[in-house]
A = this chain, B = another copy of it.
Amino acid sequence: MSNDKLRLALFGSGRIGQVHARSIAENPDIELVMIADPFIDGAQALAAKVGGRAVADPEEVFGEPDLDGVIVASPTPTHVDLMSRAAAHGLAVLCEKPIDLDIDTVLACREQIAAHSVPIMLGFNRRFDPSFASVRRQVADGEIGALEQLIITSRDPAPAPRDYIAASGGIFRDMTIHDLDIARFFVPDIIEVTAVGANVFSDDIRELDDFDSATVTLRGRDGQIVTITNSRHCAFGYDQRLEAFGATGMLSAGNVTATTVRRYDAAGTEQSGPFLPFFLERYAAAYRAELDAFARAIRTGEPCSPGFDDGVAALILADAAAESATTGKTVGVAQA
Contacts and interface: CB of A to CB of B under 8 A. Distances in A.
B269 A271 contact: yes
Listed residue (A143, A198, A237, A329) with the most chain B CB atoms within 10 angstroms of its CB: A198
Given A231-B149, A268-B271, A224 B200 contact: yes
Interface string A211-255: 001110101001111010101011111000000011111111111
Nearest to A2: B48
A68 to B, nearest CB: 21
Given A235-B247, A236-B266, A266-B249, A130 B259 contact: yes
Interface residues of A, number: 80
Contacts of A303: none
Max count, chain B CB within 10 A of own CB: residue among A50, A200, A256, A330: A200
When all copies of this chain in the complex are counted, the total is 4
A273 interface: yes
Contacts of A28: 25, 50
Contacts of A265: 144, 235-236, 248-250
A261 interface: yes
A309 interface: no
A95 B280 CA distance: 34
A15 interface: no
A300 interface: no
B236 A130 contact: no
B268 A251 contact: no
Nearest to A216: B217
B275 A269 contact: yes
A51 B138 CA distance: 38
B250 A201 contact: no
Nearest to A129: B259
Interface string A100-124: 0000000000000000000000000
Contacts of A188: none
Nearest to A267: B271
Given A247-B201, A257-B269, A270-B271, A229 B227 contact: yes
A187 to B, nearest CB: 12
A299 interface: no
Contact of A219 (B148, B196, B234, B260): B196
